[in-house]
Amino acid sequence: MEKLGDIGEHEAIRRLVAGLGSHADLAVGAGDDCAVCRLPGTGLDQVFTTDPIIENIHFQPLEKPERIGNKAAGRVLSDLAAMGARPQWLLVNVVAPPEQDFQTLEKIYAGMNALCHRFGAMIIGGDLAQGPCLELHVFGTGTLPAGSALLRSGAMPGDGIFVTGPLGCSREGKHLDFVPRVEEGIFLRESGLVNAMMDISDGLATDLPHILKRSGTGAVLDAESVPRNGTLEQALFDGEDFELLFTVPAEKQEALGKLWRKRFGTELPRIGTVAPAGEGLRLRMPDGQLLPLEKKAYEHFRQG
């Protein structure tokens, strides 16, 4: 018998989606932040994603319920943002024990609604079922012009690597209070200057390899350039930053930087460079040394 805990989340998902098949209207299947489907006749694609948050794993029972709601909806909105999509509809499955305080649920919904309305999205349905602990399963859709979704697979050697904000120490509060980078994601997609994009949920050192693997590239990260809260190690490994991570061809970086400053009034931090495939993921230390960056991620199920 093979246990889920021995296989690990990513390998289990890889094996489960292997048998799903294909479809003429499915442009991008499982493996990116969202699935991308054609909406024939509209000139649009529709993107789909889903994310669970579970008591004692993604939040603590005594957490402020509006913040739990913000996180539940925010994770899904962040996945939509990672494609450059405009958020559309959300559905929510709630699992809870019979002794669940109902006012807490109402406040969780208030938190989800507030974030949805901020980005023109809306909760349109869902279900409520009995179970051993509080869980929220949020499903979301968004739209964008056909063929314009920013995928993990588009990075090219020589691209600069960028993030939309500082990384690390999210457990001090940001993992519940973050604002998903919806406006930034749409802006970056509309700029036409970005090759690949995803959002950082498991930490830079764990998530960047997803772009590298799907793009068939390596990368060098500049230790000194990574914007961070706390230490470099925290910026690389903490996770739940929900910033966007993306790559831009060298000749387009100046143009993007200008547009970004004009729109958001900040500098766009370049944190590294995409490298050819064979070179893996390395970290350039302040003394110029290149160290292989090891994966040390929080992965569901995998123990030790």
Instruction: Write down how long the chain is.
Output: 304
Q: What's the min distance (Å) between Cβ of 153 and a copy of itself?
A: 16
Q: Which is nearer to a copy of itself, 96 or 236 (CB)?
A: 96
Q: What's the min distance (Å) between Cβ of 40 and a copy of itself?
A: 8
Q: Which is nearer to a copy of itself, 24 or 288 (CB)?
A: 24
Distance of CA 5 to the CA centre of its chain: 23
Q: Which is nearer to a copy of itself, 4 or 277 (CB)?
A: 4
State the Cα–Cα distance between residues 2 and 297, nearest whole angstrom. 22
> Residue 128: in which H helix or E strand, if any?
strand 122-130
Q: Which residues contact 89 (CB under 8 A, 6 or more apart)?
A: 121, 122, 123, 124, 140, 141
User: Torsions phi, psi of 85, nearest 5?
Assistant: -90, 155
Q: What's the min distance (Å) between Cβ of 44 and a copy of itself?
A: 8
Q: Which is nearer to a copy of itself, 64 or 284 (CB)?
A: 64
CB of 114 within 8 A of CB of 72?
Answer: no
Question: Which of these, 101, 95, 117, lies nearest to 65 by C-alpha position?
Answer: 101
Query: CA angle at residue 123 from 118 to 127, to 5 degrees?
Result: 150
Q: What's the min distance (Å) between Cβ of 48 and a copy of itself?
A: 6
Matching residue, tokens 């603590």: 60
Q: What's the min distance (Å) between Cβ of 206 and a copy of itself?
A: 16
- A 10 A CB-CB count for 296 gives 12
Q: Which is nearer to a copy of itself, 64 or 252 (CB)?
A: 64
Q: What's the min distance (Å) between Cβ of 158 and a copy of itself?
A: 31
Q: What's the min distance (Å) between Cβ of 277 and a copy of itself?
A: 27
Q: Which is nearer to a copy of itself, 1 or 62 (CB)?
A: 1
Burial class (CB in 10 A: 0-12, 13-18, 19+), 3: exposed
Q: Which is nearer to a copy of itself, 40 or 216 (CB)?
A: 40
State the Cα–Cα distance between residues 288 and 283, nearest whole angstrom. 9
